[in-house]
């Protein structure tokens, strides 16, 4: 005789079904990488890096505009300033009546330590507890403004993964690097050094952002993007065959006018959008362009 609490029949069939559904959902959630999309990776990922911008009211308005764009075949990630994470999280949870389940939340940086005397920094467990499933690491502005090295990025990535955050690791060359023909070598060294200690099977993404194209209005040519993304794919595979399918996003003055051409290039799995992600109309236009190619 089965215990009455799980035995179908006698008025308990509904409870039994609900219990089984809860068990299935628990197993499903705990056996996939925690990227916030409900699968290993969406076919296209559009990430909005808000950087050091927006008031709380502006964040709510922008989140409200983005929520209806969520869909099963497209991953959307929002990287708000840390002080706005709770606001965006709560607004996504409420969905404003439209549902925000398909939109993931990420931090713009996290420390290599889980806790400690690091004034002004944020630890990976703090971001995870706040509702983040992603964290942006190694952005060129962090590398330039805070002297972050690829070794530091690697330590942060390992810590993030240990606390169930998927790092989006940024790499990219300077204008001098490209003009001197060293772009490929520079990016390869950044990749290898930034992934030191990252185990096979870890959930992460790469964002290629040519430094000379960030916030300048300049964009790498289609051939340059395709060539570099193919190079990154090759390097990832050479590091470990398990990394072959890691998403590679392009970031560098992505706008509605050039997004379609960027997404048409081989090995481009989405975009890390900066300035255009602060404008709802522009960001939604980029999302629509990605969805049509997902």
Q: What predicted TM-score, i.e. pTM, was given to this entire model?
A: 0.86
Whole-number Å distance between alpha carbons of 58 and 55: 5
The whole-number average pLDDT for the span 2-26 is: 38
User: Which of 18-32, 126-140, 258-272 shows the lowest per-residue confidence on average (mean pLDDT)?
Assistant: 18-32
The pLDDT value given to residue 100: 61
Confidence of residue 214 (pLDDT cuts 50, 70, 90): confident
Which pLDDT score is estimated for 4? 29
**Orientation angle between helical segments 183-194 and 150-162, nearest 10 degrees:** 40
What tokens were used for 165? 């955050």
Confidence of residue 293 (pLDDT cuts 50, 70, 90): confident
> pLDDT class for 99, splitting at 50, 70, 90?
low
% residues pLDDT > 70 (the chain): 84
- What is the model's pLDDT at position 71? 87
Q: Measured at the alpha carbon of residue 215, what is the angle toward residues 209 and 219, in degrees to the nearest 5?
A: 55
pLDDT at position 35: 59
* Residue 33 or residue 130, greater confidence: 130
pLDDT at 139 over 90: yes
Domains observed in the chain: 1-31 (no CATH), 34-291 (3.20.20.70)
**pLDDT of the residue at 191:** 98
User: Which stretches does DSSP call E strand in 112-257?
Assistant: 134-137, 166-171, 205-208, 248-250
Residue among 91, 95, 68 nearest 80 (CA)? 91
pLDDT band at 98; cut points 50, 70, 90: low
The residue that leads in pLDDT, 59 or 23, is 59
- Per-residue confidence at 186, pLDDT binned at 50, 70, 90? very high
Q: Residue 17: what pLDDT?
A: 40
Confidence of residue 37 (pLDDT cuts 50, 70, 90): low
- Which of 98-107, 145-154, 197-206 has the weakest average pLDDT? 98-107
Hey, which residues are catalytic here? 139, 209
Q: How confident is the model at residue 218 (pLDDT cuts 50, 70, 90)?
A: confident
At 42-61, the pLDDT tens digits run 689 999 999 999 999 999 99
Q: What percent of the chain has pLDDT over 90?
A: 76
Instruction: Tell me the residue ranges of DSSP E strands in the chain.
Output: 45-49, 75-79, 103-107, 134-137, 166-171, 205-208, 248-250, 270-273
| Residue scoring higher pLDDT (216 or 103) | 103
Average pLDDT, rounded, for the chain: 87
Confidence band, pLDDT 50/70/90 cuts, at residue 11 = very low
- Residues 202-216, mean pLDDT to the nearest whole number: 91
């Amino acid at each position: 005789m089965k215990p009455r609490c799980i035995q179908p029949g006698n008025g308990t069939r509904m409870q039994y079904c609900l219990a089984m559904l809860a068990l299935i959902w628990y197993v499903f959630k705990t056996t996939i990488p925690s990227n916030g999309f409900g699968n290993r990776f969406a076919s296209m990922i559009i990430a909005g890096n808000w950087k050091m911008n927006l008031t709380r009211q502006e964040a709510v308005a922008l989140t409200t505009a983005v929520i209806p764009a969520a869909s099963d075949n497209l991953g959307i990630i929002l990287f708000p300033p840390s002080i706005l994470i709770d606001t965006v999280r709560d607004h996504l949870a409420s969905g404003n009546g439209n549902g925000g389940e398909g939109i993931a939340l990420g931090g713009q940086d996290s420390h290599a330590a889980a806790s400690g005397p690091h004034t002004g920094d944020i630890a990976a467990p703090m971001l995870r507890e706040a509702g983040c499933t992603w964290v942006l690491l190694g952005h060129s502005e962090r590398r330039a403004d805070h002297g972050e090295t690829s070794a530091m990025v690697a330590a942060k990535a390992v810590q993030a993964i240990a606390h169930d955050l998927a790092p989006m690791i940024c790499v990219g060359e300077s204008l001098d690097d490209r003009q001197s023909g060293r772009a490929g070598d520079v990016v390869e060294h950044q990749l290898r050094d930034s992934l030191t200690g990252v185990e096979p099977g870890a959930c992460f993404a790469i964002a290629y952002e040519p430094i000379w194209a960030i916030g300048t209005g300049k964009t790498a040519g289609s051939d340059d993007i395709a060539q570099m993304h193919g190079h990154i794919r090759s390097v990832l595979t050479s590091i470990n065959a398990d990394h072959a399918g890691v998403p590679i996003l392009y970031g560098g003055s992505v706008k509605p006018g050039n997004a379609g051409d960027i997404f048409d290039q081989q090995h481009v799995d989405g975009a890390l959008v900066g300035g255009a992600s602060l404008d709802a109309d522009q960001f939604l236009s980029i999302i629509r362009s990605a969805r049509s190619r997902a």
